[in-house]
Structure 1
Amino acid sequence: MKQVISIILIALMFSSCKTLNLNAEFKPEGKKPYLIGKINKIGFQSETYTTWFNTNYKNYKLDLKTIEAIKSHLKEYDIKLFMGTWCGDSKREVPKFYKILDATNYPIKQLTAVAVSREPNLYKESPQHEEAGLNIVRVPTFIFFKDGKEVNRIIERPIETLEKDILKIIRDNDYKPNYFGIKKKSKKSKNL
């Protein structure tokens, strides 16, 4: 009996490790590697990503007045971020977004960050399909949730600035993102 329980526990441990693999890197033959699946800020510190991430993070000048306006309310929202480390828009906007989260003391456990594929048959999908049903057409996409319901999203780039767009979303939801209303074409996908 103990042996059966031990085998079950070991199997569960290995299966949970597979799904919790943060900052996984996909290396397509003959192309630059990129992050895929769930990620966190630490993933951007590997040699492949650190130059663009750290440069854009450091060089971004925060709008401190707007930061103060969003600081106390942003924590009421869960955020899902979908991006591609292969995507120029993501390389530009995601470091700025992390700087805003840091400046507002946003509880990072409320952020789910997912890097999507650039491969033709898996384009803008992740291995665990966190994007399923969320209509991720362009990246980066920042989706704001309150009480489990989507409130709004920033798609690809802000209309004004990230801070001002966030303020419009959390203050009175008077915000229409870029590419509003575009729907992703449905397709069957394969795992990476």
Structure 2
Amino acid sequence: MATLAPLSQLGGAIEIVAIIGTWCPDCHRELPRFIRVLEAIDNPNIRASYIGIDRAKQDPQGLAAAYDFARIPTFIVRQDGEEMGRIVERPEISLERDLAGILRSA
């Protein structure tokens, strides 16, 4: 988790929207990892919100419709209302490194 150490000092509000489904095996694999990464970063400027969807990729409040996504889990990193990057279904390298790469541009 040394990759994440510099992210503990990031300033500015960053939101990570996680679109997930309880029925999705990839979500079962990646969501606990994601939570552990956030705990390791331990930065109050980085907050996560979660949108649970059904198999039709919808949620009762219609929140997921605001995001263009096709597969889950989708982790959307946003700052000042603008998308900085996203991780879709499986990380390219690892969740830690992919997220660190996105957040370093903050």
Output the TM-score relative to the length of structure 1: 0.51
Contact 1:85 1:91 in 2 (8 A): yes
Letter in 2 for 1:154: I
State the alpha-carbon separation in 2 of the partners of residues 75 and 92 from structure 1: 29
- SS of structure 2 residue aligned to 1:107: coil
Does 1 or 2 have the higher relative contact order (CA < 8 Å, sep 6+)? 2
2:40 match: 103
State the alpha-carbon separation in 2 of the partners of residues 157 and 85 from structure 1: 16
State the alpha-carbon separation in 2 of the partners of residues 112 and 172 from structure 1: 20
Structure 2 gaps of 5+ residues are none
Please state if 1:147 is matched with 2:84.
no
Cα RMSD of the aligned pairs, angstroms, is 2.1
Question: Which structure has the greater CA radius of gyration?
Answer: 1
Contact 2:10 2:45 in 1 (8 A): no
Structure 1's 127 and 146: CA in aligned 2 closer, same or farther, altered over 3 A?
Answer: same
2:60 match: 127
Structure 1's 85 and 107: CA in aligned 2 closer, same or farther, altered over 3 A?
Answer: farther
Output the TM-score relative to the length of structure 2: 0.89
2:9 match: 72
Deviation of 1:149 (Å): 1.1
Structure 1's 108 and 93: CA in aligned 2 closer, same or farther, altered over 3 A?
Answer: farther
Structure having the higher strand fraction is 2
Contact 1:75 1:106 in 2 (8 A): no
- SS of structure 2 residue aligned to 1:128: coil
2:98 match: 165
Deviation of 1:108 (Å): 8.8
How many residues align structurally?
106
1:186 match: none
2:30 match: 93
Letter in 1 for 2:74: T
Counting only pairs closer than 5 Å after superposition, residues 1-192 of structure 1 correspond to structure 2 as 64-73=1-10, 76-107=13-44, 110-118=47-55, 123-172=56-105
Q: Find runs of 4+ consecutive structure 1 residues off by over 6 angstroms.
A: none
Structure having the higher helix fraction is 1
Deviation of 1:76 (Å): 3.5
Structure 1 gaps of 5+ residues are 1-63, 174-192
State the alpha-carbon separation in 1 of the partners of residues 53 and 45 from structure 2: 20
- SS of structure 2 residue aligned to 1:132: helix
State the alpha-carbon separation in 2 of the partners of residues 71 and 163 from structure 1: 13
Contact 2:91 2:98 in 1 (8 A): yes
